[in-house]
Chains A and B, each alone.
Chain A
């Protein structure tokens, strides 16, 4: 499928794509590192929001700012900022996430010059009236801050258009999840991963067009016969930057049928109400979305959601991908584990260090788990 090839090209060389895109369109590029970044507002302002994933390789500049017990995601992102890999960025925004990203914002502000920098200090709890009001205030403030940085007013009409685009993208990606859940053979794990990741990089209108085509073709295509013996799994964690994770799991006899990742379904879930003021609609979606563990909503919300996902997707097990030194996820793991045990859902934990074990070693670990299912 030529559309898929195009997405895969973007995902394998995202910075080349963005540089070329910036040159051709003259659009501003805004970097962000968290699924709570109000992208709809950035896109409405005519700028391209790009999620930063950092590098795993040869981190040395970041070492002079961050200690070794900081997660590889934060260190990797800082490394790319310091070594000028990200010099195409016009501005960066930091939604409040965790203690590490909070300090990354400070370090970035003090060391990276020549671009605008906006902190979006979101509430940490999302389930009280005052927090809801504050969230709305913060997003309104962000709209003004970003407008000032870009030298323009961001109108309601622009926001409404952006909300529509994002709704369409998210609905289609939701459709893709359902198609793949019903028949995992319909698209390979690696291709699926590329489609997901491209949504955080590409021009959103262009992406929507390509995604529409891909879904149309997948719906028409006669799906290959389902591999009955492949064990159905749900991935849970924060980011999955390993491009081959899906492929390795498939080689080990499993298949990812759903996920609970902030670079996965958590990023796409939830529609915005197009009948109300767009900023209100954006706010409302954040209040309904399943939370990142750095936020607070209900005491067992994430566990209940994970069990619901496993049941709905008829999965047989859960793979936890935990980034080493990621506190919020590490604190939640024991209670999630306990809830899964109570439901007799098998799981495995993959602690991800900066340098992942080789594909062969990973495959063996997955095989060991999959064999017991």
Chain B
């Protein structure tokens, strides 16, 4: 009882803090990422108080229907990134291993699974879900992970199954994914006890599309030399397009961010003070070493100007029809970067190499992410053959910092940068 009361007060405090933040934000000229995230998480953590439902959803899943139903979406993967950035991954992964989960499993999944049982981590655990929404367009791991959480929390689980598009997106696939969107609406109606609001969905879908366009425009500023932003900046600013896609907040923030980057371009300010070499990054960031890596590359006057990871949140734009959200969403969700064959991925990488005019390609071989990492060696070969730029593969883990060898990685980056420099000087 005592615990329940203290929990309640904690919730009230978090709720008030969020309200206060939102209030003070009105008077600020520019709202920071921290402001938005603080309001977002305090709203989510006090959802019980305000009677709103909470859904946990995968990063590639269709969040727009949740927003249309006034459900608060929570992203365990974003939580995983926070756990990694605060260097708590090793500890939480260790707890999961004590529960019987193999140390070879995805570290987002491991840390989230154990975190749910101890309410630990950087923000004291995620708010309890009322439902789970899992879209397997990013991996098969999320399916197993969400099954585990569905058993643990005993809440309904919706799976949006997006068939893998090795070489094609067939008519059968289109029909299947589209039909599942209808099943999704029914699922949400049942979970919320109210009719689905299609009009609102169109509005949210429109905002989502606008948000993705803006995010693409922000990333595009990196085409400029020197680049006003680096991939490490993109890793940071990404949080909003992931968590608040489909809301006005995203448009406000990225509109500001875009003008900020344009201003930097106008004034000739680069993310790396003396940008000489431009690189492309592949795979999820090494969250526990982003600052270290950023400084490491900057010390060589190298800027990671773009990456395949943050572009994934606007990579399917070509399939989206802003006036027909539901029908086009099916295809857009099935044909995202990770749900296609590696030859098509290589093609997109080459497009980025040309677009951002990079001198090298750095691949994070991520022990935690098999669909992202297997095939990298072939993509590397294709890139070397087609564009002849040097590639570097770094083996690490996105969240679990325990096996990271700083000195080894440091030496490899130094050696790689020597090759890049030599090659560029010859030109």
Residue-wise, chain A 72-89 has the 8 Å CB interface mask toward B (1 for contact) of: 000000000000000000
Alpha-carbon distance A125/B150, docked complex (angstroms): 15
Residue-wise, chain A 101-139 has the 8 Å CB interface mask toward B (1 for contact) of: 011111101110000000101011100101101100110
Given known contacts A325-B104, A327-B105, A327-B106, A134 and B175 CB-to-CB distance under 8 angstroms: yes
Tell which of B263-271, B294-302, B367-375 binds the partner.
B367-375
Given known contacts A119-B167, A330-B102, A124 and B173 CB-to-CB distance under 8 angstroms: no
Question: Which bracket fits the contact residues of B?
Answer: 35 or more
Which of A130, A330, A351 is close to B176, meaning CB atoms less than 8 Å apart?
A130
- Assess whether A130 is in contact with B180, with CB atoms less than 8 Å apart: yes
- Assess whether A124 is in contact with B105, with CB atoms less than 8 Å apart: no
- Assess whether B375 is in contact with A299, with CB atoms less than 8 Å apart: no
**Residues on the B chain within 8 Å of A109, using CB:** 166-167, 341, 343
- Assess whether B143 is in contact with A300, with CB atoms less than 8 Å apart: no
- Assess whether A141 is in contact with B374, with CB atoms less than 8 Å apart: no
- Assess whether B172 is in contact with A99, with CB atoms less than 8 Å apart: no
Q: Which residue of A lies closest to B374 (CB)?
A: A103
- Assess whether A331 is in contact with B370, with CB atoms less than 8 Å apart: no
Residue A46 interfacial (CB < 8 Å): no
- Assess whether B159 is in contact with A106, with CB atoms less than 8 Å apart: no
Q: Which residue of A lies closest to B182 (CB)?
A: A130
Alpha-carbon distance A98/B144, docked complex (angstroms): 11
Which of A110, A327, A333 is close to B378, meaning CB atoms less than 8 Å apart?
A110
Q: Which residue of B lies closest to A126 (CB)?
A: B161
Alpha-carbon distance A239/B173, docked complex (angstroms): 29
- Assess whether A330 is in contact with B375, with CB atoms less than 8 Å apart: no
- Assess whether A331 is in contact with B145, with CB atoms less than 8 Å apart: yes
**Residues on the B chain within 8 Å of A133, using CB:** 175-176, 179
Q: Which of B354-384 contact A (CB under 8 A)?
A: 365, 367, 370-371, 373-378
Question: Which bracket fits the contact residues of A?
Answer: 35 or more
Residue-wise, chain A 278-311 has the 8 Å CB interface mask toward B (1 for contact) of: 0000000000000001101001100000000000
Can you offer 23 A-B residue contacts whose CB atoms are under 8 A?
A66-B374, A67-B376, A67-B395, A69-B370, A99-B141, A103-B375, A106-B375, A107-B374, A110-B343, A110-B378, A121-B173, A124-B136, A124-B161, A125-B161, A131-B161, A294-B140, A296-B147, A327-B105, A327-B141, A327-B370, A330-B101, A331-B148, A351-B102
In the complex, the 5 A-B pairs of residues with the closest C-beta atoms, listed nearest first: A331-B144, A334-B100, A103-B374, A134-B176, A130-B179
16 more A-B residue pairs beyond the given contacts A107-B375, A121-B163, A121-B164, with a C-beta to C-beta distance below 8 A: A67-B377, A69-B104, A99-B141, A99-B370, A99-B374, A100-B374, A104-B374, A106-B342, A106-B343, A110-B342, A128-B183, A137-B172, A137-B175, A327-B106, A330-B105, A335-B151
Interface residues of B (CB under 8 A from A): 99-102, 104-106, 109, 136, 139-141, 143-145, 147-148, 150-151, 157, 159, 161, 163-167, 170, 172-173, 175-176, 179-180, 183, 341-343, 365, 367, 370-371, 373-378, 395
